[in-house]
Chain A
Amino acid sequence: MNDTRQRIALLSKALDLLTDRPIKVMEVCGTHTVSIFRQGLRSLLPPSLKLVSGPGCPVCVTDQGEIDAAVSLAGINGVTVATYGDMLRVPGSGSSLMNERARGRDVRIVTSADQALEIARNEKTRLIVFVAVGFETTAPSTASVILDAHRDRISNFTVLDLHKAVPPALEALASDADIDLDALLLPGHVSVILGLSPYGFLPERYGIACAVAGFEAEEIMLGLVEVARQIKEGRPRVASLYGQAVRAEGNPFARSLVDRVFEPGDSSWRGLGEIPLSGYALREEYSSMDALKRLDISIRRTPPPDGCSCGEVLRGVMTPRECPLFGNLCNPSHPVGPCMVSGEGSCAAHFRFSAGGDDPWKR
């Protein structure tokens, strides 16, 4: 069997055989969401398997109040805001970083934390605010750069630290009766750093079947087969199906850098609200690099835009198409909520890939 199409057909058949009751599976990674759509995998799922997207896009779960803080920081004279490209278009309650840039504020796109520090090294008269978003995959790079800045005494480098931790959010979802999950397709690259043990509570305490999966069509289908098998056998566990990249112990060295720089802190997630200890707060030793303290800006809770259902979409209780704004008032050219902004947001993925109902596997 050397043909991907044959292997996918085999996996599809196995999934069909294993799914003898309705099951709800959540994929918790924006890259999985896009890959599932791009590869047309939804058309291969048995009708009894409901696949919903979770809060797996760091841009999407960044709270509106956090965007407002970034916008406020960009408005301060002498400040340069540097962040990942996806963050620019995310609307806050009044403006976005993109709007601020159009108004002449110094907002720059970087592709790594290292580039933000480089700006600080080269432009001593500017105060650089690196807007640091991302889960466990991204937090180690921020930690490493903060340690560099500390060691080299780069006094004009600060961080708006919006990093979030995935396991506490999964616990919030697992314990929510409205969501009623049977299985989770766990995020591959978060797991590269975390390893497998931080997910152990999901099968043990909540009976949720789990698989860490890669991103190719076969790998995602295998992940679904695995969780369907666990459910059928009544033996939920955390399976590792991304062995090329994910070790059981994760990347302990990267985690040790994160532990040096950050400590667990409460964090507010769009759609999920405040989740205890779901953030990475800067330790006191590095508080001089905390942009909020340095510039006396606070993060305030603000209500979501009228009619926006990103919160429900991120919890998997509503599909993007069920949102009254989807496609007309909210679209990729004019996003109302963050799930339509990010390329990995579930609304953007639904908009881009599912319009024609194309089914590449049955052509």
Chain B
Amino acid sequence: MCLAIPHRILRLFDDKRALASAGPVETEIRVDLVPGLEIGDVVLVHAGFAIERLLEEHGQEIEALWEEVRRMAGTGHE
């Protein structure tokens, strides 16, 4: 039940509520668990509440691990 779905913020009603979309579906969500959200931000929504802003990049650890996997499993290129 810890499912969380990425949504894009379309409109901020006040400091607690926003309209957000996941694909074609638009839903009202609560945004008060993640301070400072702006229109256009992509957030993870769990049980009707945004719980975090999503970043575009995967992070360094995952990049480094992919390098290691490629080296180990032998292709050496993308």
A18 to B68 alpha-carbon distance, docked (Å): 12
Main SS class of interface, B:
loop
| Contact present for A243 and B47 (CB under 8 Å) | no
Q: A71 an interface residue at 8 Å Cβ cutoff?
A: no
Given contact pairs A58-B1, A243-B58, A251-B34, A10 touches B75 in the complex (Cβ within 8 A): yes
Interface residues of B in 49-78 (CB under 8 A from A): 49, 51-52, 54-62, 65-66, 68-70, 72-75, 77-78
* In the complex, per-residue mask of A30-44: 1 if CB is within 8 Å of any chain B CB, else 0: 110000000000000
How many B residues touch A, CB cutoff 8 Å? 36
| Contact present for A31 and B3 (CB under 8 Å) | yes
Q: A113 an interface residue at 8 Å Cβ cutoff?
A: yes
Chain A: which residue is nearest B45 at the CB level?
A112
Q: A222 an interface residue at 8 Å Cβ cutoff?
A: yes
A239 to B47 alpha-carbon distance, docked (Å): 27
| Contact present for B69 and A10 (CB under 8 Å) | yes
A188 to B3 alpha-carbon distance, docked (Å): 9
Given contact pairs A189-B46, A225-B69, A244-B56, A135 touches B35 in the complex (Cβ within 8 A): no
Interface residues of B in 8-51 (CB under 8 A from A): 30, 32-35, 44, 46-49, 51
A112 to B32 alpha-carbon distance, docked (Å): 14
| Contact present for B75 and A141 (CB under 8 Å) | no
Q: A17 an interface residue at 8 Å Cβ cutoff?
A: yes
| Contact present for B2 and A17 (CB under 8 Å) | no
Partner of B57, one of A57, A188, A193, A244: A244
A113 to B52 alpha-carbon distance, docked (Å): 18
| Contact present for B2 and A187 (CB under 8 Å) | yes
| Contact present for B55 and A137 (CB under 8 Å) | no
| Contact present for B33 and A251 (CB under 8 Å) | yes
| Contact present for A253 and B65 (CB under 8 Å) | no
| Contact present for B62 and A222 (CB under 8 Å) | yes
* In the complex, per-residue mask of A234-256: 1 if CB is within 8 Å of any chain B CB, else 0: 00000111111111000101100
Given contact pairs A30-B1, A190-B2, A144 touches B49 in the complex (Cβ within 8 A): yes
Contact residues in A for B57 (Cβ distance below 8 Å): 243-244
| Contact present for B65 and A342 (CB under 8 Å) | no
A113 to B30 alpha-carbon distance, docked (Å): 10
* In the complex, per-residue mask of A285-323: 1 if CB is within 8 Å of any chain B CB, else 0: 000000000000000000000000000000000000000
| Contact present for B1 and A59 (CB under 8 Å) | yes
| Contact present for B30 and A11 (CB under 8 Å) | no
A242 to B57 alpha-carbon distance, docked (Å): 10
| Contact present for B51 and A254 (CB under 8 Å) | yes
* In the complex, per-residue mask of A124-144: 1 if CB is within 8 Å of any chain B CB, else 0: 000000000111011011001
Q: A114 an interface residue at 8 Å Cβ cutoff?
A: yes
Contact residues in B for A246 (Cβ distance below 8 Å): 52
Chain B: which residue is nearest A136 at the CB level?
B2
| Contact present for B59 and A141 (CB under 8 Å) | no
Q: A1 an interface residue at 8 Å Cβ cutoff?
A: yes
Name the distance in Å between B21's Cβ and chain A's nearest Cβ.
16
Name the distance in Å between B38's Cβ and chain A's nearest Cβ.
16
Given contact pairs A226-B65, A243-B55, A14 touches B30 in the complex (Cβ within 8 A): no
Q: Which residues of B contact A (CB under 8 A)?
A: 1-4, 30, 32-35, 44, 46-49, 51-52, 54-62, 65-66, 68-70, 72-75, 77-78
Write 29 A-B pairs (CB below 8 A) sorted by A numbering.
Answer: A1-B77, A10-B70, A10-B73, A10-B75, A11-B73, A13-B72, A18-B72, A86-B1, A112-B47, A112-B49, A135-B2, A137-B2, A138-B2, A138-B46, A141-B30, A188-B2, A189-B51, A192-B44, A193-B51, A222-B66, A225-B69, A229-B68, A239-B61, A243-B55, A243-B57, A243-B59, A243-B61, A244-B57, A245-B44
